[in-house]
Structure 1
Amino acid sequence: MTFLDDFMIRAALAGIGVAFAAAPLGCFVVWRRMAYFGDATAHASILGVALALTFDVSIFSGVLVTALLMASTISTLSGRGYAMDTLLGVLAHSALAFGLVAVSFLQGVRVDLMAYLFGDILAVSRGDLAVVWSGALLVISLMWWRWSSLLTATLNPELAQASGINPQREQLVLTLALAVVVAVAIKVVGVLLIAAMLLIPAATARIFSTTPERMAFLAVLIGCGSVIGGMYMSFSADTPTGPTIVSTGTALFAAASLVAVIARSLRRP
């Protein structure tokens, strides 16, 4: 029996891979206040699943292309007089609805919608694991390569322009990274929980961080801790694994917020 024959080990490695990819990207989502942007991109992935099954291509390819198209559409329309929150709300719910309707038209194909909506991390295969870590390494490489430029464009677009950095190009890098994260995470936590994996570790890390690099590092640790802790709780209590992972991350966020409140109150004279 080889190391990867144990389904729990494959599940843990897949979850950690998603955490490594989502955590640093989630920091930029938090800094740029792009929570709904991630949500809309994730919801569009159900339509990608339907298209992938229709044209008999890999789920990863269908989700990646659809997520890229959704993210590009949002980026294009956001500068043309549309209110961002309204635009994201319309596109997010419309994409999810169209995806669910498209799946219902598939003939002779059995689709487990619950697995795509909430994830099925315990069913991750070796091939899925390779896809998850390939996507994670791509996202980590993009973040490492463009970190300084992304950070400058996020904090001060005018300074970025003056420094020869194109904010639109950096937005495109984030869009690509977000689409990749959605494509690799759909198997692990599902459509409805992807945004949570992006936001919760980053929001928790922000409480204890004084620098962007520290926040990204802590977000990775918190994301991995949520995966391992969530899997343990799921195994012990016989609960759905994906939602339990997110619930564990939420508990960490609540605990961190409470500690921060207590620390602030103790510092007061």
Structure 2
Amino acid sequence: MSLLDDFMIRATLAGLGVVMAAAPLGCFVVWRRMAYFGDATAHASILGVALALAFNVSIFGGVLSVALIMALTVSALGGRGYAMDTLLGVMAHSSLAFGLVAVSLIDGVRIDLMAYLFGDILAVGRMDLLVIWGGAALVLLLLLTRWSALLTATLNPDLASAAGISPRREQLILSLALAMVVAVAIKVVGVLLIAAMLLIPAAAARPFARTPERMAVLAVGIGMVSVLAGIQLAFHFDTPTGPTIVCVAAVLFCAASVADLLKKGSAR
């Protein structure tokens, strides 16, 4: 019997693969205040599911294609003077609505929408693991090779331009990485919780990080603890696994915030 025959092992590996990519990328989402951008890209993935089912292609391919289109569209329109918060709000909710309507119109296909909205990590198979870890590896490779340029463009766009780094190009690279994370994470935590796994570990790590690199490493650690504890709690209490993982991450964020407040209070 192979180790991967155990569904709990597969679920754990899938969750760890997602946070390995989502947590460091989430740091850039926090630094750039791109939270709503993550929501918009995630919501658009439901439309990708519908298109994949309609044209009988892989779910991953459909989700990745739509997420990339959403990321490129938002990046292009954002540079033309559109109010980003309004634009992202319209695109996030409209794409989710169109996706849900499109799914309901597909004849002869039964789909568990709850699995795509909130994830179904316990149903992850070997091929899903290959896709998740392959996508996570690509995102990590992209972040590692572009870390200095991405960080400079994020923290000081003017300095980046002076150094020959295009802030717009780095924004596009982040958008593409975000689309990849959404595509690999939909099976684990679902559309409605992807943004949470991007934001919460990074936000929890922020008070304890003196450098960007330390924040990224701490975010990965917090994400891993959330996955491991969330899966065990969900199994023990028979609760939805994806939401339970996010709940653990939220508790860790609250604990980190309280510790930060106590630390600042004692310093005064």
TM exceeds 0.5? yes
Name the CA distance, whole Å, in 2 between partners of 1:42 and 1:106.
21
The equivalences for 1:165-176 within 5 A come to 165-176=165-176
User: Partner of 1:9 in structure 2?
Assistant: 9
**CA apart distance, 1:78:** 1.3
**CA apart distance, 1:81:** 2.8
**CA apart distance, 1:103:** 0.1
- Aligned-partner residue type, residue 41 of structure 1: T
User: Partner of 2:113 in structure 1?
Assistant: 113
User: Partner of 2:184 in structure 1?
Assistant: 184
TM-score under structure 1 normalisation? 0.99
Name the CA distance, whole Å, in 2 between partners of 1:21 and 1:8.
21
User: Partner of 2:242 in structure 1?
Assistant: 242
Name the CA distance, whole Å, in 2 between partners of 1:175 and 1:89.
17
User: Partner of 2:99 in structure 1?
Assistant: 99
**CA apart distance, 1:53:** 0.5
Name the CA distance, whole Å, in 1 between partners of 2:81 and 2:21.
32
The equivalences for 1:185-224 within 5 A come to 185-224=185-224
Is structure 2 residue 125 aligned with structure 1 residue 125?
yes
Three-state SS of the structure 1 residue aligned to 2:239 is: coil
Output one character per residue of 1:144-189: Cα deviation in whole Å (capped at 9) or x when no partner: 0000000000011111111111111111110110010000000000
Structure 2 residue runs of 5 or longer lacking an equivalent are none
**CA apart distance, 1:27:** 0.3
**CA apart distance, 1:80:** 2.1
- Aligned-partner residue type, residue 76 of structure 1: A
User: Partner of 1:152 in structure 2?
Assistant: 152
- Aligned-partner residue type, residue 187 of structure 2: K
TM-score under structure 2 normalisation? 0.99
**CA apart distance, 1:20:** 0.2
- Aligned-partner residue type, residue 230 of structure 2: G
The equivalences for 1:24-63 within 5 A come to 24-63=24-63
Name the CA distance, whole Å, in 2 between partners of 1:54 and 1:160.
44
Name the CA distance, whole Å, in 1 between partners of 2:10 and 2:175.
28
RMSD, aligned α-carbons: 0.6
The equivalences for 1:243-262 within 5 A come to 243-262=243-262
Name the CA distance, whole Å, in 2 between partners of 1:137 and 1:81.
34
Name the CA distance, whole Å, in 2 between partners of 1:120 and 1:199.
20
Three-state SS of the structure 2 residue aligned to 1:108 is: coil
Is structure 2 residue 138 aligned with structure 1 residue 138?
yes
Three-state SS of the structure 2 residue aligned to 1:44 is: helix
Name the CA distance, whole Å, in 2 between partners of 1:41 and 1:267.
41
User: Partner of 2:263 in structure 1?
Assistant: 263
Name the CA distance, whole Å, in 2 between partners of 1:30 and 1:260.
17
- Aligned-partner residue type, residue 92 of structure 2: A
- Aligned-partner residue type, residue 140 of structure 2: I
- What is the count of residue pairs matched by the alignment? 268
**CA apart distance, 1:28:** 0.3
Output one character per residue of 1:98-135: Cα deviation in whole Å (capped at 9) or x when no partner: 00000001110111000000000000000000000000
